[in-house]
């Protein structure tokens, strides 16, 4: 199954409208299509806009865009930092809007499943950066978060794969130690 890219646009209502458009273009080319080159074509314009309207790192969408931008460019430490900050901002939004008349509106795009998704994405970034233990820790946090809120944990396949990888690495390390001991004996 192939997915179609978002339709091309040349006119935007606002800078945030264009940011969201570019974000979806990059998502399409980087994830389902796996064409980093085409995704990179949209990164320069996205970064220009982010520097203009989201340079203070106060917007949830802005942090999501920064994280994707850095990930596409291969700067995983910055992608991780932006994703962590996005998660922090979502939690702050929940805290300040809880019990207010605007709570439903504030949480429309950032509900429990959205936070779980962001945790899963953070785990992937940690894994890709070579920190399997941190990736597993974040996935466990996401799993517990889902269980405590009574929603499905979408990261179960990732967790299974990362646990299997950890086991393989542990077995490989044990095998290497055993070989060294035999060679020294």
CA-based torsion, 122, 127, 130, 136: positive or negative:
positive
Q: How far is CA 12 from CA 22, 27, 100, in A?
A: 11, 19, 32
- pLDDT at position 156 is 97
Q: Kindly state the percentage of the chain with pLDDT values over 70.
A: 93
Q: Read off the pLDDT band of 2 (50, 70, 90).
A: low
Q: Kindly state the percentage of the chain with pLDDT values over 90.
A: 84
Average pLDDT over residues 143-151: 97
Q: What is the pTM of this model?
A: 0.90
CA 155 to centroid of chain Cα atoms: 12
Is 1's pLDDT higher than 60?
A: no
| CB hemisphere CA count around 74 (13 angstroms) | 3
């Amino acid at each position: 199954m192939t997915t179609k890219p978002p339709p091309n646009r040349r006119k935007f209502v606002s800078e945030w409208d264009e940011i969201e458009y570019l974000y979806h273009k990059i998502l399409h080319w980087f994830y389902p299509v796996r064409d980093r080159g085409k995704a990179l074509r949209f990164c320069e314009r996205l970064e220009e806009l982010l520097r203009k309207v989201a340079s203070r790192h106060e917007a949830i969408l802005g942090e999501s865009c920064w994280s994707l931008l850095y990930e596409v460019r291969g700067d995983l430490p910055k992608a991780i930092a932006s994703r962590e900050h996005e998660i922090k901002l979502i939690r702050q939004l929940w805290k300040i809007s809880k019990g207010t008349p605007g709570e439903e509106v504030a949480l429309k795009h950032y509900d429990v499943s959205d936070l779980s998704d962001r945790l899963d994405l953070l785990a992937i970034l940690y894994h890709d950066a070579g920190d399997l233990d941190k990736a597993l820790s974040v996935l466990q946090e996401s799993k517990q978060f889902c269980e405590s809120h009574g929603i499905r944990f979408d990261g179960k396949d990732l967790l299974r794969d990362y646990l299997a990888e950890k086991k393989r690495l542990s077995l490989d390390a044990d095998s290497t130690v055993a070989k060294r001991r035999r060679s020294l004996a």
